[in-house]
Amino acid sequence: MDCMTMAPERERERERELTPEEERTLIRDICAAAEVQTKEGDTFYLITSRWWQSWLDFVNQDMNVTVSNGYGSHNYGSPCSSSPKRPFAIDNSDLINDATSEISNVDIELHETLVEGRDYILLPQEVWDRLHGWYGGGPTLPRKTINSGLSQTDLSIEVYPLRLQLLLTPKRGQAIIRISKKETVRELHRKACEVFDLILDNVCIWDYYGHQKHDLMNDMEKTLDDANIQMDQDILVEVLGDCNGTTDGGCMSSVQENGSNERDSGSLAAEPCRSSISVAEGLSTSKNVSRSCSSEISQSQLLTSPSSELDTVHATSTVATRGPPVGLNGLLNLGNTCFMNSAIQCLVHTPELARYFREDYHKEINWKNPLGMVGELAMAFGDLLRKLWGPGRTSVSPRPFKAKLARFAPQFSGYNQHDSQELLAFLLDGLHEDLNRVKHRPYIKSKDADGRPDEEVADEYWANHIARNNSIIVDVCQGQYKSTLVCPVCRKVSVTFDPFMYLSLPLQSPSANSMTILVFTSDGSALPTPCTVNVPKQGRCKDLIQVLSNACSVKGGEKLILAEIRDHKIHQFVEDPMLPVSNIKDEHLVAYKVPKLDKKSILLQFVHRREEPEGNGSIKAWKPYGMPLLAPFSYDGAARSADIQRALLTMLIPMLQSEKSQPASLSNSCPRMASHATDQDISMNEECAESDHKDGGNHDREEADCHLFLELVDENNQLIDLSTVEEKSFKLLSSSSSSSSSSILVFINWYQKDFQNYDTRRLEILPEVYKYGPPLPKRSRGEPLSLYTCLDAFLREEPLVPEDMWFCPKCKEQRQASKKLDLWRLPEVLVIHLKRFSFSRSTKQKLETFVNFPIHDLDLTDYLANKSNSQRQTYELYALSNHYGSMASGHYTAHIKLFEENRWYNFDDSHVSPINEEEVKSAAAYVLFYRRVRADNPSPSNGAQSCANQSHSLCHR
């Protein structure tokens, strides 16, 4: 029907009022024509859903009354007395935001939270013209049809054009404009000059996202969409006449500094998450415009989306598509939801899951599973997957899905940043429980292997698992470990076969700490000896003492005392058995092997001092040096100087420099030497001490050969010269200490001649206490880490952490057993999590290690412990979740391969762009998704082709 014939008809319509049936029929015919003829650039109009519903009720009233005809009477509903009245004038005021910014250059602004189908309906221009001619009203809200995809038929209605803030420099002006994302840079340039009344040739504009100059926008024919301009982004308008005075040396020099005047397609990946406003693509949400005005114009069909789809804010309305691309829809960022978007895109592009959820999966929902979410999580995920597999290249809001997620997993509520791997773990487990085909789980008791073949035991464990857990998630994503535990005491071996959903691989982060500690003995049986032990990385102080006691052969009547040394004194005793080893930060950690103390024993701490010059060197003073000694001392209320001397000399026996007993360079074979020298040497020293005392306490070390000068610190911090104390007993009180243990501080003042009798060099050498271990292959800083190396570290045998002690059925006690994992059964889809994040009580860090993972032919055949499986176990990468930036302000994206196109895409929230395969590998790779390669299926399909050849309603039902 051409324009010449339309005009007389409209005149006749104005002369008489059409019946509701005539209006309905006329609008139906116009909609049918518009569905076929819609093209890019056509105009659609917003109309409030409230008024549209009242018009639907009015034109459908003849279907709700009793109608009599020659074929009998049919009652369709209410009587005529309650028939809806003719609507008043169109009133779109509830769609308008009256509180628009004063600096806005847009006359009419829509509310930001409008949802198609709930708040408004989109009508073709001819339909709007008819309704507006019949009823009048307004305001008129036209919106253009744009091309939203690769094909010319991928049409969308841009309900929310880009809202851009123009920032004028150097005059500091600003303005807000609306412009279509399909407009060119030239049009933006023209509008900017028009707003600020500038001359075109004197102005350059910049992509000023995040208040940083990203690119000079000088490609005038490039669309804003291709230039990656986002909603609510800043555009810097720079006057060329002032460019030479800018800090970056003018527009052209800035281009050279940036290296390019075009944004690299992958550069957006490193940007932080954007707010829900800034990522809004501004497109309509209906699935097909024709559904708003169907040829079957009933109330149910005129309304667009079902209630479950009403929250798809700002998504795209696809119009009259013919064979469009599928699987290229982005997800809007609702505010720090990039972690969720990345995880979802990886799951929905898993071919097996895509096919499953695009078919009728509802029959498998387990509505009564107490471990599930009453099927709601599965349905929400299925609905979102179908939207994302809709035709075209649009943006979908995950708001309904996020609401369900927050309901069942409150940890993901709100708009804080989270871990995409944690979300994946919850989703896989939650979807499994919602779709578990087992309605009543039987109780099955696991049997011990008892020497049976691994193949038999593994199949038995798997059958028991499937009897209780049987879902699409188990079919696709679950594999099986072989777990071997060995008791360190009785050597009992326990083998179990457990299911797994994903592999969490360490990035060569050690599972144990190697600690080297200097061990002192109090009985003179050995020199101070460094001892190296491996402690679990998350181990406690009690674990350190246990392994150190074993290494030092601590006997039943002995114990180890750990102490931190500062300024050559014991700063504190490490007594808390639950103190994490990682919290012992002081490098100077020593251990003292002493007899177990009784109630009458106290500890004597001997601190070494020697004379050192002070100031200009003419005056000497006693300065502490070396490591202190610790000895138990039996004390019943009185002590003698000779007893303290004896305790000290006993410990110093291994350091005696005797021609017969020991050379200057002492070995560790001291017990034999001690047994020969103890009585003689102690007697010799006692005689010297007594002789010295009889001489009146003469401290002239030139005349003394073997006496050691001791000073005791009393409770008043006063020094007591033990060589002047009379033989009568005196009392000892423990000196102030930062530890709960009691110790008496005694200074050993070493004179020069004393060093002729004793070699104290062992007291001055303190080995490194803490270092990473076990030793790992050294890599240069730039050398990549192989994924196979990470897998080797994951499967390496290691002791259990103290929190996971194993109850040995033979010992009947908790044991820190060694554990070895092996891969026994591999899934169709193998999810690999690279453990980039580490947490402790005081630190949080991210490992930026570049992992060289294979994209094709990940071969795990040699890693499979089940050698009865003769098939090659090879996998191909098809998706990965990336994390950029730090833990506090990071951003997640996803790289996805579409098998039908054999092409990789970067999914950065709402922005989807093609990338080359070599761009897939980066240090941002966080969660990898591999799919098994089968000889009979070299080209995996995600079901997109079959869906594209069917009615698009399959993707949206």
85-123 per-position pLDDT tens digit: 888 899 888 888 775 544 445 567 887 767 777 788 888
Predicted local confidence at residue 435, as pLDDT: 94
Q: Retrieve residue 521's tokens.
A: 């003995």
Name the β-bridge partners of 662: 658
Predicted local confidence at residue 555, as pLDDT: 80
The CATH number of 512-654+709-720+742-763 is 3.10.20.90
Parallel, antiparallel or unpaired: strands 770-773 and 806-808: unpaired
Question: Matching CATH topology for 162-239 and 512-654+709-720+742-763?
Answer: yes
pLDDT, block means (10 residues), the chain with 957 residues: 47 63 84 75 88 86 46 36 78 77 59 75 87 88 75 69 86 85 88 88 84 82 80 84 43 37 34 30 38 35 34 34 66 88 95 92 90 91 90 82 86 82 93 93 81 89 93 95 87 90 80 75 83 75 83 81 87 82 71 83 87 75 88 76 83 73 36 36 44 41 56 78 65 48 80 82 64 44 75 85 79 84 94 83 72 93 86 93 82 91 91 91 94 69 41 30
Contact 164, 177 (CB under 8 A): yes
Classify 614 as helix, strand or coil.
Answer: strand
Cα-Cα-Cα-Cα dihedral sign, residues 296, 297, 300, 306: positive
Predicted local confidence at residue 99, as pLDDT: 58
d(CA 763, CA 519): 11
Amino acid in the structure at residue 695: D
Query: What CATH class is the domain 20-60+86-158?
Result: alpha beta
How many other CB atoms are found less than 10 A from the CB of residue 862?
7
> If you write DSSP's letter for every residue of 112-135 in order, what string do you get?
TT--BTTTEEEEEHHHHHHHHHHH
Only one residue has tokens 């090879």, namely 874
C-alpha dist (Å) from residue 208 to 104, 106, 232, 348, 825? 19, 21, 11, 33, 52
Contact 835, 791 (CB under 8 A): no
Predicted local confidence at residue 756, as pLDDT: 81
Alpha helix segments (H runs only) across 367-436 = 376-388, 399-408, 420-434
Predicted local confidence at residue 134, as pLDDT: 87
Predicted local confidence at residue 738, as pLDDT: 38
C-alpha dist (Å) from residue 225 to 78, 680, 855? 51, 94, 30
To the query of whether residue 338 is one of the catalytic residues in this protein, the response is: yes
Predicted local confidence at residue 848, as pLDDT: 84
* Catalytic member of 608, 891, 911, 952: 891
Predicted local confidence at residue 260, as pLDDT: 36
In this prediction the pTM is 0.47
Parallel, antiparallel or unpaired: strands 851-852 and 785-786: parallel
To the query of whether residue 243 is one of the catalytic residues in this protein, the response is: no
Cα-Cα-Cα-Cα dihedral sign, residues 810, 811, 814, 819: negative
Query: What CATH class is the domain 162-239?
Result: alpha beta
Sorted by where each begins, the domain ranges of the chain are 20-60+86-158, 162-239, 340-482+496-508+787-800+821-935, 512-654+709-720+742-763
Predicted local confidence at residue 310, as pLDDT: 32
* Catalytic member of 31, 204, 273, 338: 338
Predicted local confidence at residue 405, as pLDDT: 87
Task: Cite the beta strand spans of 241-378 per DSSP E.
Answer: 330-331
Contact 289, 38 (CB under 8 A): yes
Predicted local confidence at residue 732, as pLDDT: 66
Residue 31 parent element (H or E): helix 20-37
Q: Is the domain covering 340-482+496-508+787-800+821-935 a CATH 3.90.70.10 domain?
A: yes
Residue 648 parent element (H or E): helix 641-652
Going by the DSSP 8-state scheme, the letter that residue 184 receives in this structure is B
The maximal CA–CA distance of the chain, rounded, in angstroms, is 145
Phi/psi for 282 (5° steps) reads 80, 30
